[in-house]
Amino acid sequence: MIYYKSTEEIELIRQSCLIVSAALARVAELLKPGVTGLAIDAAAEQVIRDHGAVPGFKGHNGFPATLCISRNECVVHGIPDEVPFREGDVVSVDCGSIKDHFYGDSAYTFAIVEVSKEIVQLLQVTNDSLYLGISQAIEGNRIGDIGFAVQEYCERRNGYGVVRELVGHGIGRKLHEGPEVPNYGRRGAGAKLKIGMVIAIEPMINLGVKHVMQSNDGWTILTKDRMPSAHFEHTVAIGKEKADILSDHTAIEVAIKNNKDLKEISKKN
């Protein structure tokens, strides 16, 4: 089911998204070798609660934490644990919040130095593909235009695996609303994009094959070939000439620049 939002409701979603962005910026300050996922999770939850919001993922379908922390061969939905981060880890962090009944949702993937050139390239291409997808999120286009832009760039131009089983989504009073927003597709196919639609666009891109599997914990999604994976996400409102990006990665990127243990990712767009 697609729920169309009023301007006021979109502003409420923006507020929720900005709280998520603040939590992810805190993650970018703290992430370094030796720190645990549980410690990062507690810090992110504190940021969310300090803003008068509630973690959006905790308790959602029984998920136990504020953050999904997905390391290396984990694609998404990793559960924060006590295993310290190490040099060379690729760490995808996904965060949601609920503020004034509306969800915010955003994700970023961090690389703890030193990392290989091919990891840096994977992160850059995945992040750039997010913005290529967002550039298609305009009135009159279709869902398939977003997926096509992401797939074309990641799969055909860069030879990466685009995950099929997990997709972006509409978002609002529910974390997952219609329509589904796949990271693959055909131009001009799928639901028509209209003003009032708010969607989370979230490329999940594998260095190796596109195939994934679920781990025994019932949550974590792993790459089948155990190669690393990256994940970047923004919540956006469909715009007339250009999408309105409701989440914001600026503070995250500033924090990465100031954290000597994290590798900076340059942006194309």
List of residues contacting Mg ion (CB under 5 A): 94, 105, 107, 200, 233
For residue 214, give Cα distances in angstroms to 6, 184, 208, 257. Answer: 37, 21, 17, 34
- What residues contact 216, with CB distance under 8 A and at least 6 apart? none
- CB neighbours (10 Å) of residue 60? 14
- State in angstroms the smallest separation of the CB of 94 from Mg ion: 4
Nearer to Mg ion, 70 or 136 (CB): 70
The gap between the terminal CA atoms of the chain, to the nearest Å, is 32
- What residues contact 7, with CB distance under 8 A and at least 6 apart? none
Nearer to Mg ion, 140 or 151 (CB): 151
- State in angstroms the smallest separation of the CB of 135 from Mg ion: 19
- State in angstroms the smallest separation of the CB of 34 from Mg ion: 26
Q: Which two tokens stand for residue 25?
A: 């910026």
d(CA 37, CA 211): 25
Nearer to Mg ion, 105 or 128 (CB): 105
Question: Cα angle vertex 53, ends 48, 58, to 5°?
Answer: 75
Nearer to Mg ion, 132 or 200 (CB): 200
Nearer to Mg ion, 198 or 207 (CB): 198
Q: Which helix (H) or strand (E) holds 258?
A: helix 250-258
Nearer to Mg ion, 105 or 177 (CB): 105
**Count of CA atoms in the C-beta half-sphere (13 A) of 215:** 16
- State in angstroms the smallest separation of the CB of 116 from Mg ion: 26
Q: What is the DSSP string of 43-69?
A: HHHHHHHHTT-EESSTTGGG--SSEEE
**Cα-only R_g, the chain:** 17
d(CA 59, CA 140): 36
- State in angstroms the smallest separation of the CB of 233 from Mg ion: 5
- State in angstroms the smallest separation of the CB of 87 from Mg ion: 26
- State in angstroms the smallest separation of the CB of 212 from Mg ion: 16
Nearer to Mg ion, 97 or 141 (CB): 97
- State in angstroms the smallest separation of the CB of 154 from Mg ion: 18
Nearer to Mg ion, 198 or 200 (CB): 200
Phi and psi, residue 10, nearest 5°:
-65, -40
